[in-house]
Structures are given as C-alpha cells and as structure tokens.
Amino acid sequence: MNRMKVWDSSPSSGQLEVAAVQVKFDSAESPEGRISRVEDLMSDVVDADLIVLPELWFHGAFSFDSWRQNAVTLDSSVLSRLSKVARDQEVWLHAGSFVQTVHTNSDSDMWNTSVLFDASGTQHTTYKKIHRFGFTEGEPTLVEAGDEPVTAVVQTDTGTAVTGLTTCYDLRFPELYRYMLKAGTALHVVPAAWPLSRVPHWEVLGRARAIENQAYVVQCNMAGMDHQTEYGGHSQIVDPNGEILAQAGVEEAVIQARLDFDRLAEVRRSFPVLQDQRADIWSIRDQSMGNVIK
C-alpha cells in the first residue's frame, strides 16, 4: 500500500513565538480609527515571530451594510500600513481577513480574503475563505467563495512551520485541514469573528483540529458587539495534543505562546496515528500546494 508520509518529513522544525491579537469591535469607531488602535496593540507585542489578527476586524463581520463601501483592494492603504508594521517590527503578520474587491466603488466581486505578510513586509500569501457563513444572509449573499486551500511556509531564524490558512467557519470542516496535511501542515491559523453564543463549539473544534492532525492551532477571535451579534473572544493557542497553551477571555487581549515543532515531530513519531489513515478508501486527492498569491 502506498501511504503518504508527508507528516514524517515535514520541513517544520525549531520554535516560533506566536501572538494572537483579539480585537474589540465597536461600531461607533471608524475603520480608520480601528486600524490606528490595532497598530498600537501590535506595537506592544514583544519577541513574536508571527502575529495573528482576527477575521474582518477592519470591516465588522456582521456589518454587512458597509462591506461594499469599505471593501479593499490588495494594494489599499490599510494593507500598506499593515505591511509597514510587519517590516518595522520584523515579524510575520497574518493580518486577519478583509472584504476584498478588485475595483473599489464598483459592483465587482468581493471575497473574504486573508493576507499573510512576511517579516520584510512583503505580501506573501492570500487565502479566500472557502466556506461562507450565514446560510441565507451575509457571506453567501455578498461574497464569492474561495475554492483553493492555501498553505505557506513561515520561516524565521528560530523555526520553520508549514502553515495552513483557514478562516472562522472553515473550522467546522475537518476535511479541509486533513487535505492540507498532505502539504505537511504543522500549524493552522484561524482568524475568526465567532459569536459568543457558540464559544463552546469554537473551543472544542479548535482542540479537535489540533488533536486529529497533530498540529498547532492558533485561533484569533473578535471581542465586542457588532450590530446584534456579540463576539465570543476566547482566542486560543492549542498544542498538538489538544492542550490549550494560552486563552483570552471576552475582552480585547493579546495572547502569546512558543510553538515547538521539534516536539511536534516527536508527538507524531511516538503516537503515529496519521500513518493509519486510509486515504486509499477515501480518495483524498493527492495534490501539491504552493504559495498562492491572488
């Protein structure tokens, strides 16, 4: 039987210090005001290799009425400001996600797009959210769905991590994470705008994705109120055994933890559950994935 063993030979190694910045939403604050505040929050993060921001923190994930007006292109000023943060602080920055459009002030398509900057401020990777949340309103009616799983190699002097990019509601779809494991993912980053009413799901699903894929999971949520929805906070950093290394409460917060990918390799070696997958039965597609910039 031809069993893939990417998780054995994953290039992930060493250590990375990761911070998640849980942003409080206030609809009275302008997006411009919010970005200045988030810049301040990030400037207080010390010694991180990777900073992660939440989903749609700039727009408000439930502020549907202003998405079109506040949609950004990938060369917009907000993204330039975030690029500058990455460059000035010499840190990889997963800037969360944005309502992305191709042309502002038009009726062109929109997506919920995450953006990863490397430590020189270069836009390294983008990911368009695959699973749109809202059933009959919100995302399914306003934005296009992505159709491409995306991984990126986050690399610093201290460590390297093959990283899977997913967004919020994606957390409910384990097949996406299992699929990315074929690219050797050792870390999953999940920016989110997850409501308070379903925080128990958020906690358990993050731990489940970590345990079943023997990977680190960094979940960065919003706090505060957005229209009728209260965000749940509880951003968390979970290790490959499902242990919570750091967790926020419901307020604005920064959480931080050191991820050890040599230890992850040892977890995969000493409890080699991933080698017992039956991809031959499930026909999980074998496809190499690169860094996609869209």
Enumerate the active-site residues. 55, 129, 168
227 near ligand AKG, rule: CB under 6 A: no
193 near ligand AKG, rule: CB under 6 A: yes
DSSP letter (8 states) at residue 91? -
Q: Which residue has the tokens 């000023």?
A: 77
Which residue lies nearer to ligand AKG by CB, 168 or 215?
168
Q: Tokens in use for 147?
A: 């159709």
Q: Give min distance, CB of 145 to ligand AKG, in A.
A: 12
223 near ligand AKG, rule: CB under 6 A: no
Q: Tokens in use for 198?
A: 């379903």
130 near ligand AKG, rule: CB under 6 A: no
67, 133, 179, 216: residue in contact with ligand AKG (rule CB under 6 A): 133
Which residue lies nearer to ligand AKG by CB, 119 or 165?
165
Buried residues in 8-34 as b, exposed as e (16+ CB within 10 A): eebebebbbbbbbbbbbbeeeeebeeb
Report how far apart the first and last C-alpha atoms of the chain are (Å, whole number): 37
Buried residues in 120-134 as b, exposed as e (16+ CB within 10 A): ebebbbbbbbbbbbe
58, 111, 169, 177: residue in contact with ligand AKG (rule CB under 6 A): 169
98 near ligand AKG, rule: CB under 6 A: no
5 near ligand AKG, rule: CB under 6 A: no
- How many residues belong to the site for ligand AKG (CB under 6 A)? 10
DSSP letter (8 states) at residue 39? H
Q: What is the DSSP string of 148-178?
A: --EEEEEE-SSEEEEEEE--GGGGG-HHHHH
Q: Tokens in use for 135?
A: 């059933």
50, 168, 183, 274: residue in contact with ligand AKG (rule CB under 6 A): 168
Q: Give min distance, CB of 205 to ligand AKG, in A.
A: 8
Considering only residues 32 through 91, tell me which ones interact with ligand AKG, judged by CB under 6 A: 61
Which residue lies nearer to ligand AKG by CB, 161 or 238?
238
222 near ligand AKG, rule: CB under 6 A: no
| Binding positions for ligand AKG, rule: CB under 6 A | 61, 133, 168-169, 172, 193-195, 198, 201
